[in-house]
Amino acid sequence: MNNFRKTIIIAGITSIMLCTTAFATEINADDLDTQENSQAEIINEDNKVQSVEIQVPEIQETTPQEPVQQGKVTVNILNVRSGPSTDTEILGKLSLGSTFNIKTLSNGWYEIEYNSATAYVFAEYVKIIDKSTESPSGSNVVDYAKQFIGTPYVAGGSSPSGFDCSGYVKYVMANFGIDMPRTSTDQYSIGVRVEKSELMPGDLVFFKYSSTSYNLNHVGIYVGDGNFIHSPIPGQTVKLDTLSSGYFSKYYYGATRVIK
C-alpha cells in the first residue's frame, strides 16, 4: 500500500474515533450557560480535557394570553359588520342565542371573529357569558323558551323565523349547550325518563297519536303547574297548553329530563 493511501486511511480512522468520542460523551444541559455558542468541557478517551462549542437555541419568552370572553346575542337578528359603525358593510347575521368569542370592546362595538375574519357587532345587543356560573336550571330553559311565544309553526323549521315542534326544542336546548337530535322520536332517547307525576320545569314531554307506529309525533317543554310550551301545528304559533286537556292527556306518551 503506498504512503498516500496510508495517509488517507489513518486520517479517516482518526476522524471516526473523534466523532465517536464526542457523541458518546454525556453532557448535562442544565450545566450549560443559556447563551448561544456556549463552551463546554469534556474528557476524551485519553483523559484529556477538550473544549467544545455547544449550540444552544435562543429562549423565547412567551406572554400568557388573557382568557377569551364569550358573548351571546340577545335580539332576534344581529348584524355582523366589517367595521365598528352602522355605515360599514354587513358581512352576515347572527340569530338570537348565538354565541361567539369576543376580542375587544371599542366605542360600543365588540370586535369578534366571523368566518375566519375580523368583524364587529353592536355591544348593546350582546350579553357576556359568565363561565363561572352553574349549569342552567329548568327555570332558565323555560324563561328562554317563552321568548318565542307567537313564533309561527313552519314544517322543518328550527330558527326564530319559524319552528316545528322538535326544531323548537332543539333550538332552545342548543342555547344551553345541549345538542339534541332533530326528531321527537330521537329526542326521546336523550336524558333520563321521568314519571308524569314527577315533572319539573325544563323537562321534555312527548306525545304519540298512533298505537301502531313506532315514531313519536310531538314534543314540548314542561313549564310547571301542568302546563307546557310547544310549537303545535301549521297555522298556529308557539304557545302554552295544559297537559290535562282531553287531547294532550289522551296522547301523552312520556317525558325525559336533559337538564341536570
Distance CA 190, CA 80 (A): 34
- Catalytic residue of the set 81, 170, 208, 230: 230
CA distance 236 to 245: 17
The C-alpha atoms of residue 53 and residue 151 are separated, in whole angstroms, by 75
Q: Cell for 174?
A: 342548543
Q: Is 218 a known active-site residue? A: yes
Listing DSSP states for 185-205 in one string gives HHHTTSSEEE-GGG--TT-EE
Eight-state DSSP code of residue 124: G
CA atoms within 13 A on the CB side of 196: 14
**Bridge partners for 159 per DSSP:** 162
C-alpha span between 235 and 86 (Å, rounded): 36
Catalytic residue among 78, 165, 204, 238: 165
230 annotated active-site: yes
Contact by Cβ (8 Å): 35, 60: no
Size (the chain), residues: 260
Active-site residue flag, 51: no
CA dihedral of 196, 243, 231, 209, whole degrees rounded to 10: 80
The one-letter amino acid code at 34 reads T
Helix (H, G, I), strand (E, B) or coil at 141: helix
Name beta bridge partners: 79: 93
Which helix H or strand E contains 144, and what residues bound it? helix 138-146
Say which of 119, 218, 222, 238 is annotated catalytic: 218
Q: Which residues are catalytic?
A: 165, 218, 230
